[in-house]
Structure 1
Amino acid sequence: MELDIQITRLAELGLPLAAGRTIDDLLYSLPRDLFERRPYELLLSVLGVEVEREPWGRWFCDRAWSFDTECVHGPGAYVGIARQLCRIAGRPDAFTDVQDHVDLESRKAWIEYTVDGRRQRWTAEVHDDWADTLLVSYLMDDLEQGGHRFWTRDNGQIMNLYFLDDAAAHAISRLLTDGRPLVPVLPR
């Protein structure tokens, strides 16, 4: 299936390329035939990463993130996770006064922030440099609204996250042929 068709269909379902991103940006890292041999599967993974050329710091899609859960190396790690979740939820300023503490040696970590006028503080379990996914689910719960929620695909260490409504997530799952549908991170 042509890459252009895949991009158009995913955009219709709520996962458009971010403003200024092009097929040429996608093809800078991977050849077209890889995208077209595995329709939607590879594209869905790539939507959650940064463009691999200058200018740096540009995400392919504002509603997707390829979250490497082995990312807690020290202070600021949970703040970074929170910022990414806010970005893909389309609520970049949802969390204010965000701060964290990560001390792998003493096995102590926490994040604190204000959301919707409430101050939240969550303690993280420390398992080497792996993110506490229960804590991450609390952050997600504070961001889900308006019929949209976080969806993922099983991919081992990398958690491909998408912020979609139920109908779009189910429609995307029907496009996939590898037996790995999108599933809600927080079942309702």
Structure 2
Amino acid sequence: MELTAQLDKLAQLGLVLNPDITIEDVLDTVDRQELEEQPFVLLLFSLGSEVQRAPWGRRICNSVWNFDTECIAATGDYVTIVQNLCLLTGDRDYLIDITDSIDLDTGECWLEYTRHGQRQHWQIEANDDWADMLAISYVMEDLQRDGKQFYSLDNGQAMILVYLDRAIAEQLGDLCDEDLEPVIPA
């Protein structure tokens, strides 16, 4: 299926390229022929990534995130994860005053943020450079609202995350010919 047709179908589901992103930016992550021979899943991987050229740090699509769970090295890494999850929900500021402390040598790790005026504190289990998915699931629970939830597609040591209502997630799963799994069952 042609890349533009795939992008059009995803746009109908609310998954659109960020305004400053072009198809050429998408093609920096995966070859067009591969994208067209294996529609949707590879494209979602690309949409969930950053542009692979300067200026650096530009997300291709704010509605999809390719979350590499082997990403913990220092203080600030969980802050980045929470910020990315907030971005997926469409409200960067839903959780505020996000802080963490990561000491992989001692295993003393924690994450804090404020939601609706309430301070939340989570102890994080240190597991080398792997993210603590239990702690992240608590954050996701705090973010889920309005009938939407986090869904994932397995991507090896990573996962492609989206934040959708169930009907849209089912439509996306049909396009990908894979079931999207709710990260936290409703």
Give the TM-score normalised by structure 2: 0.96
Alpha-carbon offset, residue 156 of structure 1: 2.3
Q: Which runs of 5+ in 1 are unaligned?
A: none
Query: Contact 1:14/1:164 (CA < 8 Å) preserved in 2?
Result: no
Secondary structure in structure 2 of the residue aligned to 1:164: strand
2:103 corresponds to which residue? 103
The ranges of structure 1 where at least 4 consecutive aligned residues each deviate by more than 3 angstroms after the TM superposition are: none
Partners of 2:29 and 2:86 lie apart in 1 by 26
Distance 1:60 1:106, change over 3 A: same
Secondary structure in structure 1 of the residue aligned to 2:48: coil
Return 24-33 or 54-63, whichever deviates more.
24-33
Alpha-carbon offset, residue 17 of structure 1: 1.0
Determine if the alignment matches structure 1 residue 63 to structure 2 residue 63: yes
Determine if the alignment matches structure 1 residue 187 to structure 2 residue 185: yes
Alpha-carbon offset, residue 31 of structure 1: 2.2
Secondary structure in structure 2 of the residue aligned to 1:43: helix
1:6 corresponds to which residue? 6
Partners of 2:95 and 2:131 lie apart in 1 by 19
Task: State the identity as a percent.
Answer: 46
1:152 corresponds to which residue? 152
Query: Contact 1:35/1:43 (CA < 8 Å) preserved in 2?
Result: yes
Partners of 2:184 and 2:159 lie apart in 1 by 14
Deviation digits for residues 117-144 of structure 1 (CA, Å, limit 9, x no counterpart): 1110000111111100000011111111
Distance 1:46 1:106, change over 3 A: same
Alpha-carbon offset, residue 45 of structure 1: 0.9
1:1-188 equivalence runs, <5 A: 1-177=1-177, 180-188=178-186
Give the TM-score normalised by structure 1: 0.95
Partners of 1:80 and 1:6 lie apart in 2 by 29
